[in-house]
Chain A
Amino acid sequence: MAIRSIPKNSLGIPTTAPPLLKLRDIVKSFPGVVANDHVSLEVQAGEIHALLGENGAGKTTLMNILYGLYRPDSGHIFIKGEEVHIRSPRDAIAHGIGMVHQHFKLVYPHTVAENVALGLAGTPFWQPARVVERGLKELSERYGLPVDPRARVWQLSAGEQQRVEILKALYRGAEILILDEPTSVLTPQETAELFKVLSRMKQEGHAVIFITHKLGEVMEVADRVTVMRRGKVVGTLPTAETDKGSLARMMVGREVVFRLSKGECHPGEEALVVEDLHALSDRGIPALRGVSFTVRRGEILGIAGVAGNGQHELVEVITGLRRAQRGRITILGEDLTNRSARRMADAGVAHIPEERLRMGIVPGMSVEDNLILKKHHRRPFSRGPLLQLRKVHAFAKRVIEEYDIMTPSPRTPAKLLSGGNIQRLILARELSGQPGLVVAAHPTYGLDVGATEQIRQLLIRQRDAGVGVLLVSEDLEEIMTLSDRIAVMFGGEIMGVVSAGEASLAEIGLMMAGERRQAQEPR
């Protein structure tokens, strides 16, 4: 081997020194799929290591194995050079591994201190939360994670809740910190804050593993990146030696087109007019505080914003699933404020729901039965009290082919379909009825690139055909790619509406964080 200078990372630790963490040949499979196929990974102390891949690549499975939530079928884990066997999160924590999951693992009705004190060794039996409160104040300062230990978790914002998760791990002495898609719930400004915290951790000698599918973040904050695709590691390299294009190619395996082909926008009459809408959240707190906007036929209006600022409630009010305290909703010329969900659907409102499995389909029923879900009571699927099964069969066959739904048979239970096919099923059902307004909430969440592209194309085709589309998404890139106009929500209000061409990421980011737009855009 030729002698060359040994590269060192930012802490001055040579990268050829034994790594803090090493995974070798990890294999894990589930029924019908190999999630991790001989995966190996190395992370140094004082390093931020990104784990990049699209949805379904196996990143979260790998980290769940490291954290003891899954047992691998085979493979080895080494910490500081010694092999360890992690059979449960308890072992992982004992070995200094902490994890911040994408969907926070918090007990929402409890206080911050109670959450941190849960199962924590070394705390007193009587009133452990008190002791933890004091310890938290110290940690908060050291790492720059301000949070009120006595607050109830459900009252905190997503960014603050994430801080609790990080503090939970740090309080337990985590040297290796895993973060699973941490920026999905943050505004651009909060993301910058998080990256500052991660740098602080780097300096303190922690190893940070950062799961993401966002190329920009990888380039911005990571020292090295490991790319995974379909359960295998495609490559590991320092970020300094690569670029977004190459990473994208490694992630997907082929050339990726970053911009969708989108024609000119020809807005027509008003499809949806929302005036001064007020509504409460499930907890009785005002979630919508006077929202007004318009969506015209033939255009896509994107609602940008961090989750939890009223988008969920907005979608539910428009689709008839939640009461509006005040305000008016006019759909295709008709005043349909506070009408039932069935009435909305009958009036031509298609709803692609945020929660695919819990709301969008009936998992135990067949694909065929699912395809008639909101129209089952009308002709041609029903005549009087009886179902017209032959018409149902014919419709299902036609639509399965048209929308490319991959299923062994129309009778297959919908829960057996992959995520992308479930979404295709939902779209097939909603869009085939020739709606006038499509309300799409997080339509490509958790889907692989192929399905994502297809669904985005479907939405654009609807828009081109003269349908009004209201798109709600946390994925800012998606909003900016698909929308003709963008409205930003914060705290239950619209901060501003801009047209897609002139919008800048910084401006939108400011609005997402609560800064109202200066110039008023005609609605």
Chain B
Amino acid sequence: MDWQSWLIGIVGRALAFGTPLLWGTLGEIYAERAGVVNLGVEGMMVLGAFSAFAVAQSTGHPGLGILVAAVVGGIAALIHAFLTVTLRANQYVSGLALTMFGLGLAGLLGRGWEGIPLRQPLPSVTVPGLSKIPLLGPMLFEDQSILTYTGLILAVVLWLLLYRTRWGIVVRSVGESPATADALGVNVFLIRYLCVIFGGVLAGVAGGFLSVEYRPAWTEGMTAGMGWIVIALTIFAAWDPLQAIWGALFFGALYHLSYRLQAWLPPELLKLMPYAFAILVLAIAGLSGRKRGAPGALGVPYTRGEK
């Protein structure tokens, strides 16, 4: 295969497979910017994947499936928010519990739905005009998902929101120094709830994309640890929505390569590439002092008046 088709294939598929990573990371960025770590992304994604498939399969409307997935993700995140913000429980453990619960519940409910191809998957989109541009056209504008383009636009919007608006100042302050925000009348609890739920909504959509467009089918555990990659990406992107795009693209490319190279290397060893790279990526971030960008109060439950 000539290098041009190779390049088109890699970038095109990187965009596609990076989409759920992007959506998930954008959501987790907002949750963590408000100071709450949500390790339940894997659980929320898989619940989103299942509910999207189930709804799309039974109603024939894939878009509805995505919508329901968003709601389901939000509800799952609500549990986490309640435990960590109101009851001030340990954020790491709560997230782990959510993942265990989500994987179990999705597996439980999904029993009858496995292996059936989706009868009406979300159609892919080819941008008229732009897709005719040599090389770039087929790479970026042909045969992609609406969710891919929406995700990219969302990243820009979320960036603007975070750094250029009143809401952004509030969210960032709640994550850096909740006591400060509280003393100025900001409702820290409410902001944290909203950001965590928002993160869940986006994670749900990410999962829905997998089962309704990318694959499209339901298999137990189809998220295959993507939720954990999202958590790593959040750190690697330095909690910046625009940088999340590059991280998602990079890992999208990695996933694609792990399929592409199967002709030359054992498939199992290729499959471990994304996970090994996640560690590598964090190690590099650690070398460059990236952790310094973490929101100051990340992972710490907030109690008013605590000394």
Contacts and interface: CB of A to CB of B under 8 A. Distances in A.
Interface of A: 64, 67, 69-70, 88-90, 93, 99, 101, 105-110, 114-115, 117-120, 123-129, 168
B176 A109 contact: yes
A105 B167 contact: no
A69 B305 contact: yes
Helix, strand, loop or mixed for chain A's interface? Answer: loop
A110 B169 contact: yes
Contacts of A107: 172-173, 176-177, 180-181
A128 to B, nearest CB: 5
Given A109-B296, A110-B169, 9 more contacts: A69-B183, A70-B304, A89-B183, A114-B169, A117-B169, A118-B181, A119-B181, A127-B164, A128-B166
B184 interface: yes
Interface in B140-199: 164-167, 169-170, 172-173, 176-177, 179-187
Contacts of A89: 182-185
Contacts of B170: 118-119
Given A117-B166, A126-B164, A88 B185 contact: yes
A385 B185 CA distance: 53
B176 A168 contact: no
Contacts of A67: 183
Contacts of A129: 169
A105 B183 CA distance: 7
Tell which of B164, B177, B305 has the most Cβ of chain A within 10 Å: B177
Interface residues of B, number: 22
B170 to A, nearest CB: 6
A510 B164 CA distance: 43
User: A-B pairs with the 8 shortest C-beta distances?
Assistant: A90-B185, A105-B180, A119-B186, A119-B184, A105-B183, A128-B166, A107-B173, A107-B176
Interface of B: 164-167, 169-170, 172-173, 176-177, 179-187, 296, 304-305
Contacts of A118: 169-170, 173, 180-181, 184, 186
A379 B305 CA distance: 42
A430 B186 CA distance: 43
Contacts of A93: 184-185
B185 A125 contact: no
B184 A64 contact: no
A101 B176 contact: no
5 contacts: A107-B181, A110-B172, A117-B169, A118-B173, A118-B184
A364 to B, nearest CB: 15
B305 A70 contact: yes
A118 B187 CA distance: 12
Nearest to B164: A127
A74 B143 CA distance: 67
Contacts of B185: 88-90, 93, 119
B183 A125 contact: no
Given A110-B173, A110-B176, A99 B183 contact: yes
Given A93-B185, A124-B166, A69 B304 contact: yes
A464 to B, nearest CB: 35
Contact of B179 (A99, A105, A108, A119): A105
Contacts of A109: 176, 296
Tell which of A89, A108, A118 has the most Cβ of chain B within 10 Å: A118
A123 B180 contact: no
B169 A128 contact: yes
Nearest to B167: A125
A69 B169 CA distance: 22
B34 to A, nearest CB: 13
A120 B186 CA distance: 9
B277 to A, nearest CB: 29
Contacts of B169: 110, 114, 117-118, 128-129
Nearest to B185: A90
Given A89-B183, A127-B165, A168-B184, A64 B176 contact: no
Nearest to A129: B169
A124 B183 CA distance: 21
A114 B169 CA distance: 7
Nearest to A109: B176
Nearest to A283: B292
A114 B166 CA distance: 9
Nearest to A88: B185
A229 B104 CA distance: 58
B177 A106 contact: yes
A125 B173 contact: no
A488 B173 CA distance: 36
Contacts of A90: 185, 187
B190 to A, nearest CB: 12
A70 B266 CA distance: 63
A93 B186 CA distance: 11
Contacts of A125: 165-167
Tell which of B172, B176, B180 has the most Cβ of chain A within 10 Å: B180
Contacts of B182: 69, 89
Nearest to A61: B305
B166 A123 contact: yes
A128 B180 CA distance: 18
